[in-house]
Structure 1
Amino acid sequence: MKNNKITIFGWKALSIALMSLLAFTSGAQSDALSDEAFIQKNKLRERATEVLFWTQDERAVGFKNIGVIAPTRVVAKAKNAKPMSFNDIGLADVTYEVEGIKYGIQDFIKLPSAIGLVVLKDGQLVYENYTEGNDHNTRWISFSVTKSVSSLLIGAAIKDGYIEGVDDLVVDYLPQFKGSAYEGVSIKNVLNMNSGVQWNEDYSDPKSDVSIAGGANGITLVNYMKALPRAHKPGTVFNYNTAESNLIGELLRSAIGNNASTYLQDKIWQPYAMESDALWLLDRPNGVETGGCCLLATLRDFSRIGQFALEQLASPKDSPLAVNWMQNSVVPSATYPGYGYQWWLNSDNNNFQARGIFGQSILVMPDLGLIIAKHGNTPRASGPSVFKMHSDALNMAIAKRFN
């Protein structure tokens, strides 16, 4: 491979003829052709390995067109898919403050980094807004939001009997890791990001582990991860590691004997009547999904993932997940109170969140019955930003409306 790197996407350009099949913005054909021209001009297919270093303008086009830049697998909506109906409860007049300046909810979507905002209250769509030519049909890349989805699927695999429980060892399902630093590491350790295996998650460093192997799967992932040294005893130190979420994907596929997209479709997407098809990025054509990244879905359906997770806290009788899976998923790990089973936790309340780089998020507020989902395109992958300040302040203002 070019520069001997493990590619994040790892494929050649797909035929432009696939454009009509995979384009997922709601714009007219001329818009799709305009995006295709931009993709070609900026060589986004050829530069897919550099996705973390695309410019903001390149991301604005590329993030909603991953399906024509890279191979994906469809997560099909149900025949009884339920379009969301809008219930106007007056959120359009919500205001918030950042550094002493007052803003309205409409100002948030005008931020250069904002792409979409959806709010659910008690399962109903109560606010929705988009920018950059996107709308409720736009599928956008989720990055690490997918980690939380993979966690849900582990819960489903336990319910179905494919996995006995989270105390099972990684090597029980992936014996190729015997003799590596992952011997003695449990599924729970990986879910909690405290395996003790050395890993560098610096998105700004092209030589970091995440830049080199963050999107690896299959034998490429296994070979890279097997070579990593142990830095700490398992279960003692939190270290955020995207590749271990990819490892969860490998473990899931090994356990269920199927691909993750079909399992997601059968266990959650169709039974929960998601509104639109989703796409899941593959490591190569007809390959395997990236467990820690890159489910592409509409913002409405991402908000429904949050609603699904919220409803699972009550362990309904018809739940596709193991008993008490979501309750256990949001218990703070022993090594970091802000993280559970691939969900970010708020130590001040019961809120939890799925988060992805460049501003993707699904915030779940169980006590208020609120879901706030966002698509973003921040200047940097992570860290402090104007977008984050506005996003956090807006979340609090929306919550205050219902306190």
Structure 2
Amino acid sequence: MRLNPAARLFAATVLCLAVALPSAAREHAGPTIGQQREGVLFWSQAQREARFPRMYEMFPSDRAAHGSHVHALPQGRPLSAAGKKTAAWLADYMERYHIAGVMVLQDGQVRLQRYAKGFGPQQRWTSFSVAKSVTSTLLGIALQQGDIHSMDDTLGTYIPELRRTAYADVTVQQLLTMTSGVRWNEDYADAGSDVAQMYLGACVDGQAHVLSYLAKLPRQWPAGTHWNYNTAETDLLGILVQRATHRSLAAYLAQTIWQPYGMADDAYWIKDECDGSDTGGSGLSATLADYARLGQFMLGGGRIEGKPVIASAWLEGAVRQQAGVDEPDRGYGYLWWTDADGSYAAIGIFGQMVYVDPARKLVIAQVGAWPQATSKALVAARRAFVAAIKHAVDGEQARAVP
């Protein structure tokens, strides 16, 4: 995944457009930052592999600083995939699906890890919708700290601009479960879909892109009755958290999780070009090991030094099914995907994942550049990989029984 000269030239050009030029100059020099962000959905395979590790350099971002304390991830006994030559099987999976890195923790120890050529432990990778789950977790912390009073609060309580829109009476909980009932199209392959259009417009009255975009959308279903996946609404949730806490998502993440839990490296969160807020639905970049630590934090019940930092009302609902998603044995909690066996996951397009299996004390972190944003075949391959890891763990436990 090394950058060739042409890719380096393009990346440097984009970086100059996105960061170095003042906004007035950008209007005449080329595409806006929002247009460039939407273009990510339609990058080539080579572009994805070269740029996903550098998203936080290509777009204006806030830093979530790590602290001096590091949560150790000691090396455990290597995990053997049942009935497979583990190294060859893992290499084939990663090459076939353009996976940049995989790390498996059990009992907090590293059982399996591998990086693709050109990507390493100190490099970051963008998370896409894994960021949604992180934003939701930050809301759970803000609820615990009293900055957010109740998940039954309406959005207009925190974001007055929504009071005359279809979102006026939508509750925080309905936003967390993607059941607002407002019309939305999340088709990543359609350039005319809402998700491909939401950052394209001009900035309006200094508002974040999603505020001006969502304000125009009509209601399609009664609030709380229909699940519909919507990235812009998680940007909206990010705005809510930032207004309630008076901090950027990156700063709040650093203060509440990144530093006290002991992440090893800085993370970065991409900002909206219109108001400078961090975009809660995507844009978080971190190392593979820190994504795994995030899963370990969740596996431990959101505790730091034995003390809960997340509101129990959030934690009890976040990782349990709150809405059906028309897939057998799967559901949706509070911006976390749920499985029937009690496992749950933060999942992003193009192959990103933080999977948590409490029964097996297991965390699986994966970053990649799938050839498509998503497809049934790609999702099936990821689920088969997770199932193979679980099967290997179960096989070990079965052999250990006398």
Q: Do the structures match in fold with TM over 0.5?
A: yes
CA contact under 8 A between 2:82 and 2:391: conserved in structure 1? no
Give the structure with the larger helix fraction: 2
Aligned mate of 2:141, from 135, 156, 163: 156
Q: Secondary structure of the equivalent of 1:353? A: strand
Q: CA deviation at 1:398?
A: 1.2
Aligned mate of 2:335, from 335, 342, 365: 342
Q: CA deviation at 1:184?
A: 1.4
Alignment-mate amino acid for residue 156 of structure 1: I
CA contact under 8 A between 1:84 and 1:275: conserved in structure 2? no
1:181-228 C-alpha deviation (Å, 9 max, x unpaired): 012110000000000001110111111100011699944321111110
Q: Secondary structure of the equivalent of 1:279? A: strand
Alignment-mate amino acid for residue 401 of structure 1: A
**1:145 match:** 130
Q: Which ranges in structure 1 are unaligned for 5 or more consecutive residues? A: 1-24
**2:55 match:** 66
Aligned mate of 2:366, from 358, 369, 374: 374
- Return the alpha-carbon distance in structure 1 between the equivalents of residues 339 and 296 of structure 2: 17
- Return the alpha-carbon distance in structure 2 between the equivalents of residues 197 and 50 of structure 1: 25
**2:79 match:** 91
Amino-acid identity (%):
34
- Return the alpha-carbon distance in structure 2 between the equivalents of residues 272 and 317 of structure 1: 11
Q: Secondary structure of the equivalent of 1:399? A: helix
**2:278 match:** 289
Go from structure 1 to structure 2 and tell me whether the alpha carbon gap of 1:286 and 1:244 turns closer, same or farther (over 3 Å shift): closer
Alignment-mate amino acid for residue 391 of structure 1: R
Aligned mate of 1:111, from 96, 102, 107: 96
Q: Secondary structure of the equivalent of 2:256? A: helix
- Return the alpha-carbon distance in structure 1 between the equivalents of residues 282 and 371 of structure 2: 19
Aligned mate of 2:357, from 365, 370, 382: 365
Q: CA deviation at 1:313?
A: 6.6
**2:65 match:** 76
- Return the alpha-carbon distance in structure 2 between the equivalents of residues 119 and 260 of structure 1: 27
How many residues are paired up? 368
- Return the alpha-carbon distance in structure 1 between the equivalents of residues 268 and 13 of structure 2: 25
Alignment-mate amino acid for residue 358 of structure 1: F
Q: Which ranges in structure 2 are unaligned for 5 or more consecutive residues? A: 19-30, 395-402
- Return the alpha-carbon distance in structure 1 between the equivalents of residues 242 and 66 of structure 2: 21
Indicate the larger mover: 73-82 or 272-281.
73-82
Output aligned runs, 1:19-34, within 5 Å.
none
Go from structure 1 to structure 2 and tell me whether the alpha carbon gap of 1:370 and 1:94 turns closer, same or farther (over 3 Å shift): same
Output aligned runs, 1:1-400, within 5 Å.
36-40=8-12, 47-82=36-71, 84-87=73-76, 89-95=77-83, 104-213=89-198, 218-284=207-273, 287-312=276-301, 318-334=307-323, 336=325, 338-347=331-340, 349-385=341-377, 387-400=378-391
Alignment-mate amino acid for residue 187 of structure 1: V
CA contact under 8 A between 1:181 and 1:228: conserved in structure 2? yes
Go from structure 1 to structure 2 and tell me whether the alpha carbon gap of 1:114 and 1:317 turns closer, same or farther (over 3 Å shift): closer
Go from structure 1 to structure 2 and tell me whether the alpha carbon gap of 1:162 and 1:48 turns closer, same or farther (over 3 Å shift): closer
CA contact under 8 A between 2:302 and 2:310: conserved in structure 1? no
1:236-285 C-alpha deviation (Å, 9 max, x unpaired): 00000000000000111111111111110000000110011111111239
Indicate the larger mover: 388-397 or 368-377.
388-397
Q: Secondary structure of the equivalent of 1:115? A: strand
Alignment-mate amino acid for residue 393 of structure 1: A
1:334-372 C-alpha deviation (Å, 9 max, x unpaired): 45461000000112x101010000000111111000011
CA contact under 8 A between 1:71 and 1:282: conserved in structure 2? yes
- Return the alpha-carbon distance in structure 2 between the equivalents of residues 255 and 181 of structure 1: 21
CA contact under 8 A between 1:118 and 1:374: conserved in structure 2? yes
Go from structure 1 to structure 2 and tell me whether the alpha carbon gap of 1:285 and 1:175 turns closer, same or farther (over 3 Å shift): closer
Q: Secondary structure of the equivalent of 1:111? A: helix
CA contact under 8 A between 1:52 and 1:203: conserved in structure 2? yes
Q: CA deviation at 1:401?
A: 2.1
TM-score normalized by the length of structure 1: 0.84
- Return the alpha-carbon distance in structure 1 between the equivalents of residues 223 and 45 of structure 2: 38
**1:17 match:** none
Q: CA deviation at 1:384?
A: 2.2
CA contact under 8 A between 2:175 and 2:233: conserved in structure 1? yes
Q: Secondary structure of the equivalent of 1:140? A: strand
1:287-316 C-alpha deviation (Å, 9 max, x unpaired): 210001010001111111111111117898
Indicate the larger mover: 39-48 or 392-401.
39-48
CA contact under 8 A between 2:319 and 2:338: conserved in structure 1? yes
TM-score normalized by the length of structure 2: 0.84
Q: CA deviation at 1:178?
A: 0.9
Alignment-mate amino acid for residue 199 of structure 1: W
- Return the alpha-carbon distance in structure 2 between the equivalents of residues 328 and 308 of structure 1: 17
- CA root-mean-square deviation: 2.8
1:82-107 C-alpha deviation (Å, 9 max, x unpaired): 453322x232555569xxxx972332
Alignment-mate amino acid for residue 201 of structure 1: E
